Amino acid sequence: MEKCPLFDGTNETNGNEFFYQLTQIFEHFKSANLDQAEIACLKAIILFRPETRGLGDSSQILALQDQAQLMLAQHTTRINPSNPARFGRVLLLLPNLRVISSVQLKQTFLSSISEQNGMKQIIVELLKN
């Protein structure tokens, strides 16, 4: 990743649409000033997807996703009672992630990780943090 334009400090994307879009998404998330609890809830909302292939009990996954959304709503209301729109704004960050191609993300950032063990380790790390 040391060769990635996003991390070399130049902030230049060299006309590459992928890096431009990724930079824009990073800026949106950065400007939202998310705290650790909001980030954790967003991770859970993203990871707990009932439509994911191979799940045995999608209703249980849906319940976990609902719980993460409720926790996010309660947290944003408690932390920012004067800004009731924060919950919606935080959730509206998520559709921006769909703009980026998962194939291109994998090629750019995960190409050196073995398919089976590497992806399991990434998920474990995401859930820990």
Number of compact structural domains in the chain: 1
Q: Is residue 99 part of a domain?
A: no
Q: Is residue 26 part of a domain?
A: no
Q: Is residue 60 part of a domain?
A: yes
Q: Is residue 55 part of a domain?
A: yes
Q: Is residue 127 part of a domain?
A: no
| Strand locations in the chain (E) | none
Q: Is residue 5 part of a domain?
A: no
Between 74 and 114, the more confident residue is 74
Q: What are phi and psi of 15, to 5 degrees?
A: 75, 5
Q: Domain range spanning residue 63?
A: 35-92
Q: Is residue 53 part of a domain?
A: yes
Phi and psi based region of residue 55 (left: phi greater than 0; alpha: psi -120 to 50; beta: remaining): beta
Closest by Cα among 64, 19, 23, 27 to 46: 64
Residue 10, pLDDT above cutoff 80: no
Closest by Cα among 20, 7, 10 to 96: 20
pTM of the model: 0.70
Residue 19, pLDDT above cutoff 80: yes
